A and B are shown apart, each in its own frame.
Chain A
Amino acid sequence: MNTHRGILIACMLAWLSVVGVRPAGAQEAEAPPLQRWSFSGPFGLYDTAQLQRGFKIYREVCSTCHGLKLVAFRNLSDPGGPGFSEAQAATIASGFQVTDGPNDKGEMFQRPGKISDYFPPPFANDQAARAALGGKLPPDMSVLAKARGYERGFPWFIFEAFTDYQEGGPDYIHALLNGYTDPPAGFSLPPGGQYNKYFPGYAIGMPKPLSDGQVEYTDGTPTTVDQYGRDVAAFLMWAAEPTLDARKRLGFQVMMFLIVFTALLYFTKRRVWHAVHHHP
């Protein structure tokens, strides 16, 4: 038995020495620092106030270039979201101009948004966005928080399954917004690029979008880029995963049921097998 285990360990070590231990990254970038999120862990839920602040940043800053086409204004008043009332969501919607039509004359027209509308795109199409932004296409933000992340590699990916780590996207977004620095000596930045230490390949097309004090907060929260980054990342996580609160609540009920049910099955099994084990 011991020699057997020895062989296994020797094989593992041999394998690790050949493979080495390094994270899988297609392009180099620094690992985003881990943040504390209200919605991390099995019981973590969204922080309504944080989502409202994040929405404010999206509306005042991000929405100039980034769409949110899969999110409807009605979602802003959905349970487990930013917690706006239906009237507030309608007011927000009316602040956007939405293309509708064709009307009776066969023409498209602009009208104020309704609660049932989706967030209108900032550009008519991808080509219009590229034309306006020097050839760069800002990604739609609807599922961005789930479409970004960072692979920390072996052995972290094993721990992440058990520590309930699903916040790679928000961590990355927060880091990116705080990652604008001067390029290190010798780094040749492509034209139109900005240096960002968390962006894969370091050269990002987006200019630094946020600076301290840029967006006004009314609840006394510090108006720093660090805080902005955290708030908008939380908002984007909600936009990408609006059912997180419902999922975790139902998850707890299901887990409790399964644990009790399985325990009962275990005792049933012992009872049934008792005769076989003890009275052959």
Chain B
Amino acid sequence: MSGQSTYTPQSPFMQWLERRLPIASLVHSSFVAYPTPRNLNYWWTFGGILTFMLGVQMVTGIVLAMHYTPHVDYAFNSVEAIMRDVDYGWLLRYLHANGASFFFVAVYAHIARGMYYGSYKEPREVLWILGVILFLLMVVTGFMGYVLPWGQMSFWAATVITNLFSAIPVVGNAIVTWLWGGYAVGNPTLNRFYSLHYLLPFVIAGVVVLHVWALHMVGQNNPTGVEPKTEKDTVAFTPYATVKDAFFVGLFCIVFAWFVFYVPNYLGHTDNYIPANPGQTPTHIVPEWYYLPFYAILRAIPSKLLGVTALAASIVLLAFLPWLDTSRVRSANYRPLYRQFLFVFFLVVIGLGYLGSQPPEGGYVIAARILTFYYFAFLLVILPLLGLFETTKPLPNSISESVLGGGVPAGAPAPADARR
């Protein structure tokens, strides 16, 4: 990779510091001189957006924690006190609650981009696996955060989700009791969820550092999936990527602000404004929208143990994408069949999300089973086979060629190394 350690400190102080702690040159080589492919589209801005959203969640969360009381008798009212009596408390809480949703919007876009452009393929396997770990951490953190307001959905979501562990043979019930800190979801549960909800974002931040480190080792993928070959294929991270990211963060914030200021409760559930009541089960328990596809997979399978296994597998399998996908061509732009199967996969996930919000009865269950079948068939059967049978389109020789035109005429055979 070019562009490393071009930083030369100017001021005497920076020269002094550079000999003792070369942090300025580290930042310079990572975020200024770092070469980034010149053909990145806006789907590549979601990494920056995710970093931004993690910051938003941490800042608002730390202030909210100053006013929140993690106790079953006070939690609900302390959240309402934040809404009513804390200066701009309503803003902090709506930013944080909607921020979680937009964090997931961004992460789903980020994952979808990775799948479309084959960003998980050699040599980016570790980068991808770290990403799946980050997603898992986000899922756990978001779930625990949803429990904290201690409304009806908080309580019953906590009950349903922790009960999933009881499906584990032999030790299941013991694990659930251990998770609860008692024989039902109660004050110890709320307390530990609060503690972990505060802890996990810092774990996420730590894994983000590893994720970025891994990214800077292997470099970014790009829409062609062809590695940069010359300096003509790349531009410096700053100003090119920075300003592009900033522009898209701005657009993202406009949509985010629309939800925070004008439809702040749209993504929530009305039942969560009813204080938790262990004696009264809501007629219809649903998780937050970002878990709905996985919830639908869980409920599509009649056996509890198999359902929980499928739920876990639906996320964990993503970590094995680098090996499940046998094609050497990265970008779906050059894989016509994969592209269509992938779009159907995206629609299936959206469909599962809708089904997860519906009661598990009649046609909904049948539909959820069909879509769940496709979800796993895509990952376990279609992906491995496609790489063997698919005829891919010719790849450009380089990024700059694909951007500037010329080079390989249409219909010419692909470079030898792009085909099996």
Contacts and interface: CB of A to CB of B under 8 A. Distances in A.
Interface of A: 4, 7-8, 11-12, 15, 18-20, 24, 26-27, 42, 70, 75, 139, 142-143, 146-149, 154, 160-161, 164-166, 168-169, 200, 240, 242-243, 246-248, 250-252, 254-255, 258-259, 261-262, 265-266, 268-269, 272-273, 276, 280
A25 B349 CA distance: 23
Contact of A147 (B235, B262, B270, B339): B270
B83 interface: yes
3 smallest CB-CB distances across A and B, nearest first, come from: A251-B261, A262-B250, A26-B283
A266 B363 contact: no
Given A18-B367, A262-B254, A276-B235, A164 B263 contact: yes
Nearest to A266: B247
A26 B282 CA distance: 9
A173 to B, nearest CB: 12
Contact of B250 (A146, A165, A166, A265): A265
Interface string B359-371: 1000110110011
B258 interface: yes
Given A24-B359, A70-B77, A248-B261, A11 B270 contact: no
6 contacts: A15-B347, A143-B80, A166-B264, A240-B273, A258-B254, A269-B246
A160 B172 CA distance: 42
A147 B355 contact: no
A211 to B, nearest CB: 28
A70 B76 CA distance: 11
B34 to A, nearest CB: 16
A244 to B, nearest CB: 9
Interface of B: 38, 77, 80, 83-84, 90-91, 94, 232, 235, 239-240, 243-244, 246-247, 250-251, 253-254, 257-266, 270-271, 273-274, 282-284, 339-340, 343-344, 347, 351, 354-355, 357-359, 363-364, 366-367, 370-371, 400, 403-404
A250 B367 contact: no
A43 to B, nearest CB: 10
A146, A148, A149 interface centre (most CB from chain B within 10 Å) = A146
A258 B355 contact: no
B263 A26 contact: no
Contacts of A243: 83-84, 90
Nearest to B362: A20
A24 B357 contact: yes
B363 A18 contact: yes
Given A243-B90, A265-B243, A164 B262 contact: yes
B354 A19 contact: yes
Contact of B265 (A20, A166, A254): A166
A27 B283 contact: yes
Contacts of A169: 270
A203 to B, nearest CB: 14
A175 B118 CA distance: 52
Nearest to A149: B270
A247 B265 CA distance: 13
A127 to B, nearest CB: 13
Nearest to A164: B262
B257 A258 contact: yes
Nearest to B253: A258
A8 B347 contact: yes
B284 A26 contact: yes
Nearest to A4: B340
Contacts of A147: 270-271, 273-274
B206 to A, nearest CB: 30
Contact of A265 (B235, B247, B354, B367): B247
B38 A276 contact: yes
